[in-house]
Every structure is written in structure tokens, then in C-alpha cells.
Amino acid sequence: MSRETKLIRKPTEIPSEDYYVSGHRTCAGCGPALGYRLVLKAAGPKTVVLGPTGCMYVANGHQFLSSPYAVPWYHTQLGAGGPAGIGTAAALRSLMFKGKRKKEDVNVIVYGGDGGLADIGLSGLSMGLTYDYSRLLYLLYDNESYANTGVQASSTTPFGSSTTFTPSGKVKPIGNERLKKDVALIAAAHPSIGYVATACVSYPVDLVNKVRKALNSGRPSLVQLLTPCPKGWAFPPEETVEIGRTAVNTGMWVLWEYENGHFHLTTKPNPRKKIREYVTKQGRFAHLWENEAALEYLQLSVDSQWKYWDEMDKTGKIILPWTPSFNQ
């Protein structure tokens, strides 16, 4: 079975075939839906998709007996994405070994959100990354909240974001006071990990190439995909792609890959734009627009972390970025 990776150089080389089609009820401008479409374009028709409970299950998988998937798809429980991916990969391997299915490359993609892979399903994800199944990709669509159940805070919710669990008010004027967890760095700590990367729906060529590298790495892999959410982040739905680009250009979201033990930044904004440009485009940060102390802290945290990112890119080795806590 071939593991040749076909990379692309420009958007016009993205396959025209769609495997995520009509029949879904996602919000206008939905970042995770755009991610689904690009990920399946990258993977191709020989793909099985698993969907832990979340936005992409509720909006796609059980309404009016319709389905937007042109490839096999099934729903898993919220915390079961990790083991379900292992089970599916094991079943395919067994069938091929016993001669009940011809030997061929079949992709298994677990497409899970903050709850499915970053929080409730984190232990299962960690277990899955220790196995030896090839063409098993865990893809975390990171919309930085539990958007499906009312936009509650998750461990990937950024500092200062107002959610239904971390509302800005007199007692807690900052909103969410926790710093965002980096699931991709956690994945990179697993021995013999096939491939780890971060991506953003606003950079489709980068995303397609990373999905293909992950699937061809020979072992389980993870891609953490930033998927701007108009509902949860409070911005006009036509600005989804622009919001993602601004996240990267301000350094709030870093695009990198870890392949065969080597770290590499795939995009380096130079110069980086100011954090204010990103924050003031989203209603979830509206309470910070005049809070200079909080904005200065956000800028300082990004600038300090980028010293680590630049050093990692220079040496090819991972260093854990450390950020001081916010002192009000």
C-alpha cells in the first residue's frame, strides 16, 4: 500500500470533488463545516469518518434522516472518539489480514470538537496516539468553546473571552481568565507520534497538505484546526475566513508541524499585527476593547510565546512555551 504524499502548491490544485455536500444545518459562515469540506477533499473517497457528539454531529448527522457525507460516517459518544478510531482501524486491518477485504489504503478520520478531543475525550485521544495504526487521523476542530450546547468555555477557550460559563461582569470583568490549552503540543509528547500539526480553515493549501502528510505518516496523527465560529465569537458570518487570517497574522494562532521528530513553522507573519486588530473584530472580546491592561497582557503573552516559537523553528526541537498569569 502506497504512502506517497501528493502535496499541492495553490488553491486551484485542491480537488474539485466534494465528500461533504448538502444536507446539513450548520450556521452561516460555520468554520467547522468549511473545515470538514476541505479535510475530506484532502483525504478523498476511501475514507471513513467518525463524529463524536458536538456541533458537527447535531448539525450534520441526525436531522430529518439526511446526511451530508458522501463517504461512510458514524456517530460516537462524546468521549469515545479515541477508542472508536482505534476500533475502526483495527477492524479494517483484521478484515484485510483475513482476506475478507482487499488490501488498500483506507483513511480513518475522527473529526471532533473541543469536548470530543480536547477535554472529555482527551484520555481516549491520548490512548489512540500510542497505537501503530496507519492512516488514523484525529482532527480537532477548535472553535474555542462548547458551541453546540450554548457557547460554554472549554480548555481551548482563549484568555479574555466571554462565554456563558465565563461572562464578563463586575466580579469577573475579564471573562475567561484561563489560558488556552495547546492540544497539539500535548500530542507531540507521545512517543513515535506519526505527525502533529496546527492548521486554520483560512489557509486551505496548508490544511490540505497537512491532512495528507498526517494520513501518510504511517502512524496515528493529530491536526488541531482553528475553525472560527460566528455564533460563539460574535462576528458577521461572511468574515469567517478573514477572522482566521487575522488570528494567524497577529500570532494568536500559530501554524506549525512536527514531522519525524522535527518542528517547523509553516507560516511566519512578519511583521505580526497587533492583537487589538484581532480582538476588536469579535463580540466575545467586546468588554476588553477599552481594557488596556488586559490588551497589554494579551500582546505580552503572544510576544513572549513567539520567542519560543522562533527558537523551536530555528532548532527544530519543541520547547514548552510558558506564559505568566494575568495580574489584575
The confidence score (pLDDT) of residue 1 equals 44
Q: What is the C-alpha separation between 248 and 246, in angstroms, rounded? A: 5
Cβ neighbours of residue 74 closer than 8 Å, sequence gap 6 or more:
49, 50, 51
Which amino acid does the sequence have at 200? Answer: C
Closest CA to 254 of 309, 296, 206: 309
C-alpha cell of residue 236: 458577521
- Per DSSP, 114 falls in state I
- In DSSP terms, which residues pair with 146 in a beta bridge? 152
Our CA angle for 268, 274, 279, nearest 5°, is: 110
Q: What is the C-alpha separation between 61 and 288, in angstroms, rounded? A: 37
- C-alpha distances in Å from residue 125, one per residue of 72, 217, 221, 250, 287: 21, 17, 10, 30, 35
The confidence score (pLDDT) of residue 283 equals 97
Q: For the chain, how many helices (H) and strands (E)? A: 10, 8
Question: Which residues in the chain show pLDDT less than 50?
Answer: 1-2
The sheet that has 221-226: what strands, in order across it?
73-76, 47-52, 107-112, 136-142, 221-226, 195-200, 256-259, 262-265
Domain 11-315 has CATH 3.40.50.970: yes
Three-class SS of residue 62? coil
Domain ranges of the chain: 11-315
The confidence score (pLDDT) of residue 300 equals 94
- Per DSSP, 180 falls in state P
How many Cα atoms are found within 13 Å in the side-chain-facing hemisphere of 256?
Answer: 26
The confidence score (pLDDT) of residue 2 equals 45
The confidence score (pLDDT) of residue 59 equals 82
Cβ neighbours of residue 91 closer than 8 Å, sequence gap 6 or more:
none
The confidence score (pLDDT) of residue 57 equals 86
The confidence score (pLDDT) of residue 302 equals 95
